[in-house]
Chains A and B, each alone.
Chain A
């Protein structure tokens, strides 16, 4: 069962291929490319965060510049405490698999997520279990998104590598998988590989 502390938001829009979730706390967004899950252990759905926005709750009310006379950005939020209630952070996740019990299937689930389902950031153990297979890469590479798919694939692999004991081995294995999937698209492959060099090495 996911931990309450890992709960990052709630589904407010859902389709077969993706869902949109609203964060409980302003700016408390899961990172780009992180693995999130919806539902419980009997029917769990996995998503990769591919896009996030923070904007006014009401479409007709745009934020205005407020900090001219403030010493810091933090002061703006302190002197206008209502801002926390008038702005909201949302993120979109691409559905990349689902699970039931121990099994994880890296293909689309039979039904979309339910509205108001809780969204959890997968803990390292779950990320490790999920990333034992790279089948999800095929789903990612064949999607049309408002962000570059290469950026997303690279961000996902970087995020997943954080959960592995041996990041290098994991990234090399992912690179080999990508080389097969993108055998005829060298420039795309290069764009991804160039972005998954471990930041500490």
Chain B
């Protein structure tokens, strides 16, 4: 037995006891946060304070206030939802061949007079030199291998590219929601060199958003991404700025702060705040993400709102061109909610796209077997690492 559960039982019990002890304090902090949220009268002034502040934490920018609650508009009679999701088999350095696979699941659902569904999956193998690394233009030898977290980002770009293809194919007469899973903000690109962000963001993801926005001029098309059970604290951080007695907030000076007013909000997440504020079906005010990578987004600057679906609060991210259009914003609100209701709490289009995309451990194993069998057929060496062999052939 690899993991002896009996040895961690007491540790788990201690963790549960700790959480129980702190639950009252957390409730008090949440109540305080709610009070702060609903008592901001001068939004203009708070907006100025946010703009002037320098923080290492993400502070949500304000658009229409802090504590607005919008009920969902009526659902159109006929509409279409398109969604894509992906899964991948990462490069395995213990295998004889360097390659990876991305499987994109896509879904088109038509509702109303002529209901219908198209569910599809598109697996693609990447094994060429140009597929395996991102090379810095004009700088020979400077390159970034595509694997691990970066492959996850590339997959996100492929998902969006696929969504564009779906959007091109939908008929122009139906209002359409294009839906992605996760965040529109590719913030983890911040960890990479500029040429990587240029390739995946400027020439990849943002190009797709641009195409979707252009399609939106011909069709009534809106775009959103869905984050279930979000961990973000952007709005709580806005409240931290609000309660800070200093004129301008500078997080460099926080360690020297003795009064620590913002500690009274620590540990609360946005989703807890909006679960208390919103009624089922309602959406929150609109906020702007202050992620550093947003500087590259231009006309697609990511806005977000929280949406109360029955039991949970989801974070819905939208590009600026959706946020600025009252009609598209309402359509996004109502159709995302409708998708959640049809999917028992999670958008049905995304869960079906996931089902089409998912690559299980057994699938990955079969894939590698196919790769190795094809190499054998071509009389190529299939020697993997000794570590990999030792994992596969276990002995006593």
The CA-CA distance from A58 to B352 in the complex, in Å, is 12
Q: B115: which A residues are within 8 A, CB to CB?
A: 77-79, 81
The CA-CA distance from A58 to B9 in the complex, in Å, is 36
Q: Is the CB of B342 within 8 A of A85?
A: no
Please pick, from A58, A61, A80, A84, the residue contacting B342 in the complex, using a CB distance under 8 A: A80
Q: Is the CB of A82 within 8 A of B111?
A: no
Binary CB contact string for chain A from 74 to 100 against chain B (1 if under 8 A, 0 otherwise): 000111111111100000000000000
Q: B150: which A residues are within 8 A, CB to CB?
A: none
Q: Is the CB of B110 within 8 A of A82?
A: no
The CA-CA distance from A82 to B116 in the complex, in Å, is 7
The CA-CA distance from A79 to B119 in the complex, in Å, is 16
- Asked if B189 CB lies within 8 Å of chain A CBs, one says no
Tally chain A residues at the interface, Cβ within 8 Å: 13
CB distance from A72 to the nearest CB of B (A): 14
Please pick, from A64, A79, A82, A84, the residue contacting B352 in the complex, using a CB distance under 8 A: A82
Chain A residue at minimum C-beta to C-beta distance from B352: A82
Sample 14 A-B pairs with CB under 8 A, ordered by A number.
Answer: A61-B355, A64-B344, A79-B115, A81-B109, A81-B110, A81-B115, A81-B116, A81-B117, A82-B107, A82-B117, A82-B352, A83-B117, A86-B119, A86-B352
- Asked if B72 CB lies within 8 Å of chain A CBs, one says no
Q: A77: which B residues are within 8 A, CB to CB?
A: 115
Q: Chain A residues in contact with chain B, CB under 8 A?
A: 58, 61, 64, 77-86
- Asked if B348 CB lies within 8 Å of chain A CBs, one says yes
Chain B residue at minimum C-beta to C-beta distance from A78: B115
The CA-CA distance from A58 to B358 in the complex, in Å, is 13
Indicate the member of A64, A78, A82, A84 with the most B CB atoms within 10 Å.
A82
Q: Closest 10 A-B residue pairs measured CB to CB?
A: A81-B115, A82-B117, A81-B117, A78-B115, A85-B119, A85-B117, A81-B116, A82-B352, A81-B109, A82-B109
Chain A residue at minimum C-beta to C-beta distance from B356: A85
The CA-CA distance from A85 to B353 in the complex, in Å, is 13
Chain B residue at minimum C-beta to C-beta distance from A58: B355
Q: What class of interface size applies to chain B in its complex with A?
A: 10 to 19
Q: Chain B residues in contact with chain A, CB under 8 A?
A: 107, 109-111, 115-119, 342, 344, 348, 352, 355
Q: A85: which B residues are within 8 A, CB to CB?
A: 117-119
Q: B344: which A residues are within 8 A, CB to CB?
A: 64
The CA-CA distance from A84 to B118 in the complex, in Å, is 10
Chain B residue at minimum C-beta to C-beta distance from A77: B115
Q: Is the CB of A79 within 8 A of B117?
A: no
The CA-CA distance from A61 to B118 in the complex, in Å, is 18
Q: A86: which B residues are within 8 A, CB to CB?
A: 119, 352
CB distance from B347 to the nearest CB of A (A): 12
Chain B residue at minimum C-beta to C-beta distance from A79: B342
Given contacts A81-B111, A84-B116, 4 further A-B contacts (CB under 8 A): A61-B355, A82-B119, A82-B348, A84-B117
Q: A58: which B residues are within 8 A, CB to CB?
A: 355
Please pick, from A64, A79, A84, the residue contacting B111 in the complex, using a CB distance under 8 A: A79
The CA-CA distance from A58 to B121 in the complex, in Å, is 15
Q: Is the CB of B348 within 8 A of A80?
A: yes
Chain A residue at minimum C-beta to C-beta distance from B115: A81
Q: B117: which A residues are within 8 A, CB to CB?
A: 81-85
The CA-CA distance from A81 to B352 in the complex, in Å, is 12
Indicate the member of A64, A77, A79, A83 with the most B CB atoms within 10 Å.
A79
Q: A61: which B residues are within 8 A, CB to CB?
A: 355
CB distance from B159 to the nearest CB of A (A): 19
Q: A78: which B residues are within 8 A, CB to CB?
A: 111, 115
Q: B355: which A residues are within 8 A, CB to CB?
A: 58, 61
Chain A residue at minimum C-beta to C-beta distance from B349: A82
Chain B residue at minimum C-beta to C-beta distance from A69: B341
CB distance from B351 to the nearest CB of A (A): 10
CB distance from B344 to the nearest CB of A (A): 8
CB distance from B340 to the nearest CB of A (A): 13
Q: A83: which B residues are within 8 A, CB to CB?
A: 117
The CA-CA distance from A32 to B348 in the complex, in Å, is 35
The CA-CA distance from A81 to B110 in the complex, in Å, is 7
Q: B109: which A residues are within 8 A, CB to CB?
A: 81-82
The CA-CA distance from A85 to B344 in the complex, in Å, is 19
Q: A64: which B residues are within 8 A, CB to CB?
A: 344
The CA-CA distance from A84 to B119 in the complex, in Å, is 10
CB distance from B5 to the nearest CB of A (A): 25
Q: B107: which A residues are within 8 A, CB to CB?
A: 82
CB distance from A85 to the nearest CB of B (A): 5
The CA-CA distance from A85 to B356 in the complex, in Å, is 12
